[in-house]
Amino acid sequence: MMDFSELMQARQSVRSYTNEPVEEWKIERLIEAVRLAPSASNSQPWKLIIVNDPEKKDRVARATYSTLVSFNRFASQAPLLAVLAIERPKVITQIGATLKDREFPLIDIGIAASQFCLQAAALNLGTCMLGWFDEKAIRDILGIPQKVRIGLVLTVGYSDEPPRKKIRKKKEQMSAFNNYF
């Protein structure tokens, strides 16, 4: 079992998947990772939709690319998709968001998605977070109400690519003590 530092090193965005299906017990663990994610005022402003019906999964995957934008075409390979829809947060969170000019639900689904992806990596699954998609098409496919926004689509499956070296800024470029610079 990996410790947390090893897990963060191992997790990468996967853009090539095998056709091996994701086991139900692993899907349950992914759901639990999102369920336990922290959120502002414990609002839990998300609905996680697991898309494993092959026909629906293919339709949702096709809604993440087009003839003009093809960089998400790999989504069709993934045996499983997860859609994170943004629900209305608690009233106290809405008030705080307005007063502080913060989009707490966006922060919250980012945290939930991160926990989902780290749990997937711990289960030897690959993931990729997609922010480019046809929101209306996915809403129609999955029966998501018009007033509910879709925050992210995640591809999930067994990676068919080798691990890559992570390229990140040096710690001095992305962190500081006591001042911005």
For residue range 124-173, what is the model confidence (pLDDT) as tens digits? 999 999 999 999 999 999 999 999 999 999 999 999 999 999 999 999 99
| Higher per-residue pLDDT: 12 or 89 | 12
Domains of the chain: 12-161 (3.40.109.10)
pTM: 0.92
What burial letters (b/e) apply to 110-136, b meaning 16+ CB within 10 Å?
bebbebbbbbbbbbebbbbbbeebbee
**Contact assessment for residue 97 and residue 89, using Cβ atoms and an 8 Å cutoff:** yes
| Residue from 181, 130, 122 nearest 151 by CA | 130
- The answer, yes or no, to whether residue 89 has pLDDT greater than 70, is no
Q: Which residues pair with 13 in a beta bridge?
A: 127
